[in-house]
Structure 1
Amino acid sequence: MKLKEALYYTPLEDNKVKCSLCPHGCIIEDKDVGICKARKNEGGKLYTLNYGKITSYAFDPIEKKPLYHFCPGSKIFSIGSFGCNLKCEFCQNWEIAHEEPVSIEIQDEDLLSLAKSRGSIGIAYTYNEPSIWYEYVLYMSKMVKKQRLKNALVTNGYIEKEPLEEILPYIDAMNIDLKSFDERYYNRLCKGKLSSVLDTIEISRKSTWVEITTLIIEGENDSLDEIQKLSKWISEIDEDIPLHLTRYHPAYKMSKPPTSYDVLTKAKDIAREYLNYVYIGNVWGIDLNTYCPNCNNKIVDRDLSGKIVGINNGKCTKCGEEIKIVY
């Protein structure tokens, strides 16, 4: 496939370009690539290197994204490419985020056919960072919407306001990584800025369904004070935003031991003081059901593949509490 010119960049003198897709704002020399390794300057024009290139795909439960309050019990066709604009030392998908893996190209019509097959509700752009696959995700999300299917982004939220606002009308749901509530953590372990991710969450929540994931790493972002601040900040946007507190396992450059169950449960207890829906992820055998925040009636049974068991007309069948779930 011929290289496609990128969106969101400015030509500079001496064949340099300034990329404005993400907060890094890379100034890229001729023949060089940006931090994400997916955008290259060729003769003073910026090109996307991963347009139409797919490294991973699968049919997944929507809960695996994780999205627990968006079409529970459904399946979605998940695709990913390569590259990332953060450098998280604990990256779970480092082979496609920071290396150059083998990729394939799938015709648009074949991709859309897959998105409609096996009971899938649409496409989730995931595995690597979809925001630096921007041109292709924007194009495909428009095609998907024409088919009356759903688009979901699983993202680190590290994107500038203008490109974010351009793509949001085509996105039905997002799971955004909020890796920590400490700017130093983002700078030291991810080579990014917390403030930019917070902006993305606030902007996105006004336009689409949002859930948040925080990977808990002992000794790094597990202090109860930080969990409290993080949860309180989310609640000030909307206390019904689901928060997924996920267990860390050693990966990429980080060899710390896995997060203990005790640390996760304490973090959940703190978060529940501010948020109505808090889940623990990446732990075998944990209760992943959804309960009414008012009366604790079970409303979504994930032991039964996400079956809705306690909601009628958007309200709890026991107490009448309004439940925010996208059906």
Structure 2
Amino acid sequence: MQGDEFKPVPTRYWHRVERDKIQCDVCPRFCKLSEGQRGLCFVRGRENDQIMLYTYGRSSGFCVDPIEKKPLNHFLPGTPVLSFGTAGCNLSCKFCQNWDMSKSREMDTLADSASPQDLVEACQRLDCRSIAFTYNDPVIFLEYAIDVADACREQDINAVAVTAGYICPEPRIEFYRHMDAANVDLKAFTERFYKKICGGELAPVLDTLKYLRHETDVWFEITNLLIPGENDSDAELEQMSQWIHENLGPDVPLHFSAFHPDWKMMDTPPTPPATLTRAREIARKAGLHYVYTGNVHDRTGSSTWCTGCGELLIERDWYQLGAWGLDAEGRCAHCSTPLPGRFEARPGTWGAQRLPVRLHPRQAGTPRQRR
């Protein structure tokens, strides 16, 4: 894909406002743009009196991952997923692990081309059961993500959105109509954190979570990255867990993940494993059934346990699956309690490996290593 295929493409969600501005309506930032100006995400901008997307068909790299790395623990366990992203982001998280891409202002760094059909063929060649829009938020390349998801669905390949959920109601309906699964990054449970650390708001993310739970069939899980001294207090964890239980129900999986210093938060210490264990205990006490720890070695906290009889259902050691306690219908083999999620008779066998790939072997350079 070269030349004309790298040209910007028109988008749908915008309207004209005062003083000859055009407002982008994809996310709650509502960027008001003059001709030639880009939004905060940098990949949507005003050109020829409309909002254009500048990263359609362009990627920052590709990697085959275990689906558990997204993280999704209740969606086709053990299967491989083709992960890819573009550039830009509509939040400004000071701890971003992929800041070199999410904050990129250099479109030329997106040297890898990837048409929807290219990605379908890659998934088929690599035996991937799913494709994940990740590394940066797919909300900002919504039109591209939807076209890829549709092309994949025609070949029985699942579409997975790894997202912060920072999206407006109208595009949210269209976006999730094309997704099969999602992991939503609930970054904290205070407006202070979202404003100070992420440059956004909490309320739209909560709206997205409620929308997913009550108005879609998308399987989704939640990730909360715990940052020492910022969003890891008992009070905040209790409030968040209670809100999830009351608004989403007890069966939505919640992942507590360990922070590691990066980008603008290099002076903040890593999350102690004990913090994740404490958070898991708080969430389980609040009534949540499936609470996990991530970015640390914790077999108990990363495995799935039956809520009926307490037996081990899915053993995980990092991203490697071990004992399997589900029957062919996705129920506990000991007491027949159903496990919410999307399961098959047997788990996949991909294991913990990560495989950087290039869609077009003739392209120069080496695959980017993404987290």
Letter in 2 for 1:59: V
SS in 2 for 1:321: coil
Whole-Å separation in 1 of the counterparts to 2:254 and 2:228: 18
**Is this contact kept in 2: 1:88–1:191, CA < 8 A?**
yes
Structure number with greater CO (CA < 8 Å, separation at least 6) is 2
- Alpha-carbon deviation of 1:15? 4.4
| Structure 1 position 258 matched with structure 2 position 270 | yes
Whole-Å separation in 2 of the counterparts to 1:114 and 1:291: 35
Whole-Å separation in 1 of the counterparts to 2:105 and 2:79: 32
Task: Name the structure 2 match of 1:281.
Answer: 294
- Alpha-carbon deviation of 1:38? 1.0
- Alpha-carbon deviation of 1:110? 2.3
Whole-Å separation in 1 of the counterparts to 2:88 and 2:309: 44
Task: Name the structure 1 match of 2:282.
Answer: 270
SS in 1 for 2:129: strand
Task: Name the structure 1 match of 2:21.
Answer: 16
**Is this contact kept in 2: 1:71–1:326, CA < 8 A?**
yes
| Structure 1 position 188 matched with structure 2 position 196 | yes
- Alpha-carbon deviation of 1:306? 3.2
- Alpha-carbon deviation of 1:314? 2.6
Letter in 2 for 1:95: D
Letter in 1 for 2:326: I
- Alpha-carbon deviation of 1:105? 1.2
Whole-Å separation in 2 of the counterparts to 1:53 and 1:119: 22
1:298 paired residue among 289, 312, 322: 312
Task: Name the structure 2 match of 1:5.
Answer: 10
Aligned pairs, number: 327
1:300-322 superposed Cα distances (whole Å, 9 cap, x missing partner): 12249336721122321112222
Whole-Å separation in 2 of the counterparts to 1:79 and 1:28: 28
Task: Name the structure 1 match of 2:43.
Answer: 38
Runs of 4+ in 1 over 4 A off after TM superposition: none
**Is this contact kept in 2: 1:16–1:41, CA < 8 A?**
no
Whole-Å separation in 2 of the counterparts to 1:150 and 1:307: 24
1:253-288 superposed Cα distances (whole Å, 9 cap, x missing partner): 012010111111111110111211111111135432
- TM-score, normalisation: structure 2: 0.85
Task: Name the structure 1 match of 2:369.
Answer: none
Whole-Å separation in 2 of the counterparts to 1:285 and 1:232: 24
Calculate the aligned-residue CA RMSD, in Å.
Answer: 1.5
1:77-98 superposed Cα distances (whole Å, 9 cap, x missing partner): 1110001000011111100001
Task: Name the structure 1 match of 2:186.
Answer: 178
- Alpha-carbon deviation of 1:44? 1.9
Query: Percent identity among equivalent residues?
Result: 38
- Alpha-carbon deviation of 1:168? 1.5
Letter in 1 for 2:77: P
- Alpha-carbon deviation of 1:149? 1.1
| Structure 1 position 311 matched with structure 2 position 326 | yes
Letter in 1 for 2:307: P
SS in 1 for 2:90: coil
- Alpha-carbon deviation of 1:250? 0.6
SS in 2 for 1:272: helix
**Is this contact kept in 1: 2:7–2:54, CA < 8 A?**
no
Long gaps (5+) in structure 2: 1-5, 344-371
Whole-Å separation in 1 of the counterparts to 2:271 and 2:239: 20
Task: Name the structure 1 match of 2:353.
Answer: none
| Structure 1 position 56 matched with structure 2 position 45 | no
